[in-house]
Amino acid sequence: MGVSLSPWQMFLTAEPVVKFVMTLLALGFVTVWVILISKTIELSRLRRRLMAEDKILNASHNMDDAFQHLEDEDYLGHGMILAVKAEQERSRDITADRDGVKERVILHLERIEAAEARALNKGTGILATIGATAPFIGLFGTVWGIMRSFTGIAASHATSLAVVAPGIAEALLATAMGLVAAIPAVIVYNHLSRETMQCRAHVADLTSGLMRIVSRDLSRQALNAPAPVLQLRSAADA
C-alpha cells in the first residue's frame, strides 16, 4: 500500500516544528479572512453614515441646525460639532478675531480626524505583518523539514527516493501554506487601504462642511454686531 501524501496526512505526520509552522500559517490565513469580513462590514456602514452626515451638513444653515440633525452620539459629526461649540464658547469674549477662532476650530477638527484615521486603520496592520512574514515562516518550515529528512537518510543509510519523498513533501507544504497565507493578506491589505482612504476623504468632507458653517456663523455675528457709538464732543467741551 502506498504512502498517503494528502495535505492532511502530511500535516499529521510532519515534524513537530514543521507542524507548528503549518498551524501558525493556517491561523494567519483564517485571520486574513476574518479581518476582511469584519472590516468590510465596518467600513461600508461607516461610509454610508458619513455620506449621510455630509448631506445633513450641506443642508444646514447654522451650527444649531446641524447639531439638531446630528444629535445622535453615534454620528462622527456630533463629536465634531461639540468640539466646535466648546471652542466657540471659550472664544466668546474674542469673537472679533474671526481668523483666530477659525484656526483653533481647525486644530480641534484635525485632532478628531487623526483619531478617526487611527480607528480606521485598526486591525489592518496585522495583514501587512502576515503578508511580509508568512513566506519566510513557511520557508523556515521547509528548510527544517528537508534538513530533518536528510539527517534521517544519513542515520538509516537509505538512499531510496521513497524514503526521503514524504519528508520533503511535508516540508514543501509549509512553503505552499506560507504563500497561501501571504498572497491574500497582501491583496486584502491593499483593498482595505483603498476603502479606508475613501472613508478618510468623507471625514475630510465633514470637516470642510463644518468649517463652512463656522465661517457663515462668524460672518453673521460680524454683520449683526452693533455699530460702535461715536461720542462727539461739543464745541463747549472742546
User: What are the pLDDT digits (tens) for 202-233?
Assistant: 999 888 888 888 888 888 777 765 544 445 45
The answer to whether residues 200 and 117 touch, using CB atoms and an 8 Å cutoff, is: yes
Question: Within a domain: residue 81?
Answer: yes
| Residue at 237 is within a domain | no
Look at residue 116 and tell me if it is in a domain. Answer: yes
Rounded CA-CA distance 93/21 in Å is 65
CB proximity list for 13: less than 8 A, separation 6 or greater: 166, 170
How many domains is the chain built from?
Answer: 1
**Helices (DSSP H) in 60-124: which residue ranges?**
63-69, 76-90, 98-121
Q: Is residue 234 part of a domain?
A: no
The answer as to whether 204 is a domain residue is yes
pLDDT band at 159 (very low <50, low <70, confident <90, very high): low
Within-domain flag for 20: yes
236 pLDDT above the threshold of 50? no
Q: What is the pLDDT of residues 41-87, one digit of tens each?
A: 999 999 999 898 889 888 888 888 888 888 777 788 888 888 888 88
Report if residue 107 sits inside a domain: yes
Question: Containing domain of residue 153, as a range?
Answer: 16-222
Helices (H) then strands (E): counts for the chain: 7, 0
Cell, residue 29: 490565513
DSSP per-residue letters across 140-157: HHHHHHHHHHHHHHHHHT
- pLDDT score at 96: 66
